């Protein structure tokens, strides 16, 4: 499966003369099975794994383990998580966006 799952889930979106590429969970479901019942938080993690799959830090087994979570309802392995932004509470309880490793 390796990068074929990643490539099979890749889709495009046309908007105002621009083309955007993204990883579609409905397309990934064709190879992974029924992922529609996964909690939304795990769907976010699944999309993140598809986006970062490289065969080393994120492997097929990571993606399959997360997709198969409904069978076991628990995790038996750690997965890579690379958020692009983190939503945090500021000093005055206002939400602020920060890039990990940046100076806010």
pLDDT tens digits in sequence order for the chain, 104 residues long: 445 788 889 999 999 999 999 999 999 999 888 888 899 989 999 999 998 888 888 888 888 888 888 787 776 778 777 777 665 655 555 555 566 665 55
Residue 55 zone, left/alpha/beta (φ > 0; ψ -120 to 50; rest):
left
pLDDT given at position 69: 82
3-state secondary structure of 7: helix
pTM above 0.85, yes or no: no
């Amino acid at each position: 499966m390796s990068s074929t799952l990643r490539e099979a889930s890749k889709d495009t979106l046309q908007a105002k003369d621009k083309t955007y590429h993204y990883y579609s969970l409905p397309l990934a479901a064709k190879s992974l099975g029924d992922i529609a019942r996964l909690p939304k938080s795990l769907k976010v993690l699944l999309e993140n794994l598809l986006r970062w799959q490289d065969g080393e830090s994120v492997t097929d087994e990571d993606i399959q383990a997360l997709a198969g979570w409904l069978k076991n309802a628990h995790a038996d392995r750690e997965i890579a998580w690379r958020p692009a932004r983190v939503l945090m509470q500021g000093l005055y309880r206002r939400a602020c966006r920060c890039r990990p490793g940046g100076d806010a």
